Amino acid sequence: MTEYFNIGKFVAIHGLKGELLLKHELGKKTSLKGLQAIFIEEKKNSFIPWFIETTKVKSDDEVYIKLEGVNTREAAIRLSRKIVWLTEADLKKFAAKNSPVSLLGYTIINNNELLGEILELIEQPHQLLCRLEIRGKEVLIPLHDDSLQKVDHKKKQVMVELPDGLLDIYLT
């Protein structure tokens, strides 16, 4: 089964011919050149591909995208505010190595105890929150100077040292 990763969302419509502005979290300036398709989650766990006609860089974290079949401002409005997803292979190709989004799919280890896979990253001003599921419950693990010990890109692992009792808040 293909895994999909949230890279940002459409934040505006540009012009009259259906171009959309994607605000992304790939961690580097990119035109997404060579990307064939993006995915939008129409229904829960139902990712629909949208094929790309053209792209153009606007800023370090924004890119204009023209999608096939979206040729009017009205058609683009339907996709405005939608979250954009990429396959794991495309994410690895376009995300910066030091970008938080590149940690999606990594495993979190707390003091040699495997906690689980990072399902989502939530950026906050002074920390990054990693969303995991442990025993069927949602758990948010903070990554900041005090908790992050090491990131092993080869093993796809993030080693942390969490404060006593943090996991108990979620799991009891």
Residues 9 and 81 in one domain: yes
User: 116 pLDDT exceeds 70?
Assistant: yes
- Within 13 Å, how many C-alpha atoms sit on residue 164's CB side? 0
CATH number for position 37:
2.40.30.60
Q: Which of 94, 118, 148 is the last residue of a domain?
A: 94
**Residue partners of 152: CB distance under 8 A and separation at least 6:** 158, 159
- Per-residue tokens: 25: 């979290």
Residue 1's pLDDT band (boundaries 50, 70, 90)?
Answer: low
Provide mean pLDDT across the span 116-134: 86
For residue 81, what are the β-bridge partners?
A: none
In a domain? residue 99: no
Residues 16 and 87 in one domain: yes
Beta-strand relationship, 120-123 and 83-87: unpaired
Residue 5's pLDDT band (boundaries 50, 70, 90)?
Answer: confident
| pLDDT tens sequence across 40-69 | 987 777 889 999 999 999 998 899 999 999
The confidence score (pLDDT) of residue 58 equals: 93
How many domains would you assign to the chain? 2
Q: Which domain holds residue 68?
A: 4-94
In a domain? residue 49: yes
Q: Residue 102, Cβ neighbours under 10 Å: how many?
A: 21
